[in-house]
Chains A and B, each alone.
Chain A
Amino acid sequence: MNLERLPNEEKLSLCRKYYLGGFAFLPFLWLVNVVWFFREAFVKPAYTEQLQIKTYVKRSALGVLLWVAVLTTWITIFQHFRAQWGEVGDYLSFTIPLGIP
């Protein structure tokens, strides 16, 4: 789909859908929203719906950053302590590496 050909109201509604969808633990929707609507929100000349789009894009970006922070922290902790946690570590793992603790 080409955003250029879409009327402004539909752009807004699409951006809102992606923004709301992201709350269902789908940070990638937010990421797509940010990438896809960045130009619309910050580069294009002003139009009425742009303010709302700008808000959605900013919040989506914030959400993505939050997710990245949380996931990075967890993955670091998990990778670092998995072997020490022993049983718990194994049950939390989806694939257990062979031949290392």
Chain B
Amino acid sequence: MDLLSNKWIINLLVCCFYLGKWFSSGAGCRHTLTCVRCNSVEKKIYVHLNYKIPCVRLLNATHQIGCQSSLSGNVGVLHVLESEENLDWVLRSGPNPPYMVILEYRLFTRSIMMKLKNGSGRVAGVAVVAPNTNPAAGFSPHNTCPNENTGVYTEKYDPTMAHCNVTVWNPLGNGLSYEEFDFPIFSLKDDNETQVIRQCYYDHNHVVNGSAPQYPLCAMQLYSHMSAVTDTATCMRRNDINFSLNPDMVCDPLGDFNVWASTRPINNTAKGHKNGESVVIAAARLDSRSFFFDIAPGAESGVSGFVTLLAAAHALRNVTQEAHLNRTILYTFFQGETFDYIGSSRMVYDMEKNQFAVDLDNVHSVLEIGQVGLRPNSTLWFHSDPVSRRNNSVNEEVCVENSRKLEIKTIFSATGLNVSVEEPGFSQPLPPSSFQRFLRARPIPGVVIEDHKSAFTNRFYESMYDNGEYLNISYPPNMTPEEQLEHITDTARVSKVSKAGPPLSTFYFFLSVTQMLYSFLVQSNNSWIQQLMTSDYANHLTDRPANLYVGVAVQQSEPTYLVQHLLANLTGSTVNATQDNCKNQRMDPDDKDSKHLYYYFWVQGAAPPNSTERQGFCVRSTVRLSKALSPAFDLHQYTSTDYSTWTESRWKPITGRIFLVASHDLEMLTLGVGIGILLTSLLLTYFFSSKAEILFSSGREPATATY
């Protein structure tokens, strides 16, 4: 008897131990556990949300932004908000706070969100139902003055131009992305799942004639608990404290890799100044963001610019290989520019510290392609910096570049496009651009090409609606993915004309542009991209639009390796090297030097018509990656005002579920009855054990065991 009870206790302890372990080690394990033990009960109670995109916490030198739930998730009674007036129910009159507010996208505005934010604990969380088609009105959750404090226009540089005094670049920006919310905010897709939620609301919680709904009520629980808090200095310090029992990391710096390539090979092993080298930097930015974590299509703000640059590099390949130009073009694609110019500030820093293949003395000028997702018959604007142009030599160079306008116009009209090229007024500062970081270091001549004269024409800057649909990437219905890939969209036709002069083999040019746009804005997993990728990366391709959020520095994001491989294929050449040599960065076993100049990719290639085996080949190019991690993290200056200090918090598993809750009284009654039963059983046990000799003494010998 005793042995048996011991065994039970041990079993129980083991169970508890495992339970604790499962729970502490995350959702995956918890899930398996629930599946084994209490599958059916859990399924009967909860409906889990499949598609949910959270808003997460980011931190910089002074602030934290984004959202978070409590450790055990925020629970609230569902309320579908129908209009702004309806907020009163949530914030004041509703009898069952806290509420989980379901918002239509059109109500996801600053005024409503700020009222909810100040809702004094009556709001448990918000779920925004994203529309299937873009809204008609503009929406930008970003700032009105992007990267206000880390560009070149500081008080010291020119007080009249600081803080977007001259031009407010993003007038539609409502700044929601930079607010701090102490409840979770999720984005849901408008589909069956959302319909289930709505149905649950209308069945149980719907208010008729202002009378309070009856229990049970439909409730939702959202988990998005963030580990980091306060600011970057705090979380980086906590990362480094590792004498505690569970040395958890709490945040990671934002960052990735810049992609760059040169028209003439530059020795990348020997860093620092290169004698006699004069480079023109042709730049574009690779990243974007939105209010929610992993949905950042950035079609106009990112894709339009870097696809144009890729196309230009492609078109210039033959010219630069044949003609001997006296300057080298350095194609650079900067990552993390949205977050205070992470990529460009790092490259300038590396150039200053002789840690890059060239230094700032080698840089002749900068040409940057910004947002150029033109509508037909519009204008390209060449922006330049009025302050550095007060210097004569800089002004001359800028004028030379600007004087090419006429040539460019000719090229446009040669391809049947009516696009004019203009310069905005002399007094207007540069729009937010990577070039500003170069100007911060020294007055380098340069222009930034944009499709807007002053404020952005982009109505959805850094929002989830800045997508393929906004760029008019549309396909006739009933097209297979393969046909869509080959279909030359209007956008491709309009926006992409290279700066260079030679007659383009127009069809192939448009085709590669349309394929690039398809890969970034529709899905990267397509037959064209697969041919151009190395086999390791080909597995990572996805069936959805690329996410241009820069992410944390520990992993390479999708746009980086896509652009890296595309650039290699579009500017490099196929060489006759074996797979083994190619992967070891050499032409043949005796080749020791070319790895300093070139990078070799063994790409998958296409399969011949009657075979499934792909025929790979070796591509040699000058494409390289360079770190795009803010110098603040190498210098441990977490309160820096010069460099980006953005970090992303780590989090516990992000989940959401809906279920029915009983009234508080019923819950208390159940608990009371439970406790009552427990106490009664204890009393009974005591009674039995004290009267055991009387109760169980029917003719048996009393136990004689001694302990």
- Chain A residues near B (Cβ < 8 Å): 86-87, 90-91, 93-96, 98-101
Contacts and interface: CB of A to CB of B under 8 A. Distances in A.
B227 A98 contact: yes
16 contacts: A87-B237, A90-B238, A91-B241, A93-B244, A94-B245, A95-B246, A96-B241, A98-B71, A98-B225, A99-B225, A99-B227, A99-B228, A99-B229, A100-B229, A101-B230, A101-B234
Nearest to A100: B229
A96 B238 contact: yes
Contacts of A99: 68, 71, 225-229
Interface in B385-432: none
A67 B245 CA distance: 26
Interface in B235-273: 237-238, 241, 243-246, 248, 250
B587 to A, nearest CB: 52
A94 B244 contact: yes
Contacts of B226: 99
A99 B649 CA distance: 9
A91 B244 CA distance: 10
Nearest to A94: B244
Contacts of B71: 98-99
B241 A95 contact: no
A96 B225 contact: no
A90 B235 CA distance: 10
Closest 6 CB pairs of A and B: A98-B227, A95-B244, A101-B230, A99-B226, A101-B229, A96-B238
B64 to A, nearest CB: 10
A93 B238 CA distance: 10
Nearest to A87: B237
B240 to A, nearest CB: 10
B62 to A, nearest CB: 13
Give the interface residue-count category, chain B: 10 to 19
Contacts of B245: 94-95
Given A99-B225, A101-B234, 8 more contacts: A90-B234, A90-B238, A93-B244, A94-B243, A95-B246, A96-B244, A98-B248, A99-B71
A86 B234 contact: yes
Contact of B241 (A86, A90, A98, A101): A90
Most central of B71, B228, B229, B243 by chain A CB within 10 Å: B229
A37 B227 CA distance: 48
Contacts of A91: 241
B237 A98 contact: no
Nearest to A91: B241
Nearest to B250: A98
A97 to B, nearest CB: 9
Contacts of B68: 99
A25 to B, nearest CB: 21
Nearest to B237: A90
A99 B246 CA distance: 15
Contacts of A101: 229-230, 234
A94 B246 CA distance: 10
Contacts of A86: 234
A87 B241 CA distance: 11
Contacts of B227: 98-99
A95 B244 CA distance: 6
Residue from the set A87, A93, A94, A96 with the largest chain B CB neighbour count within 10 Å: A96
A91 B238 CA distance: 9
A9 to B, nearest CB: 30
Among B234, B238, B243, B245, the most chain A Cβ lie within 10 Å of the Cβ of B234
Contacts of B246: 95
Contacts of A98: 71, 225, 227, 248, 250
A95 to B, nearest CB: 5
B222 to A, nearest CB: 15
B264 to A, nearest CB: 50
Contacts of A96: 238, 241, 244
A54 B250 CA distance: 53
Contacts of B234: 86, 90, 101
Most buried by B among A87, A93, A99, A101: A99
Interface string B617-629: 0000000000000
A90 B229 CA distance: 13
Contacts of B238: 90, 96
A87 B226 CA distance: 20
A42 to B, nearest CB: 30
A91 B250 CA distance: 16
Contacts of A93: 241, 244
A96 B238 CA distance: 8
A88 B245 CA distance: 19
B45 to A, nearest CB: 26
Contacts of B225: 98-99
A53 to B, nearest CB: 30
A98 B228 CA distance: 7
A92 to B, nearest CB: 11
Interface string B42-74: 000000000000000000000000001001000
B241 to A, nearest CB: 6
A58 to B, nearest CB: 36
A32 to B, nearest CB: 24
B653 to A, nearest CB: 13
A2 B68 CA distance: 56
A91 B241 CA distance: 8
Interface in B208-243: 225-230, 234, 237-238, 241, 243
Contacts of B243: 94
A91 B237 CA distance: 9
Nearest to A95: B244
Contacts of B237: 87, 90
A99 B238 CA distance: 11
Contacts of B229: 99-101
A46 to B, nearest CB: 34
A99 B74 CA distance: 14
Nearest to B241: A90
Nearest to A98: B227
Nearest to B226: A99
Contacts of B244: 93-96
A76 to B, nearest CB: 22
B182 to A, nearest CB: 11
A101 B57 CA distance: 14
A70 to B, nearest CB: 24
A96 B245 CA distance: 10
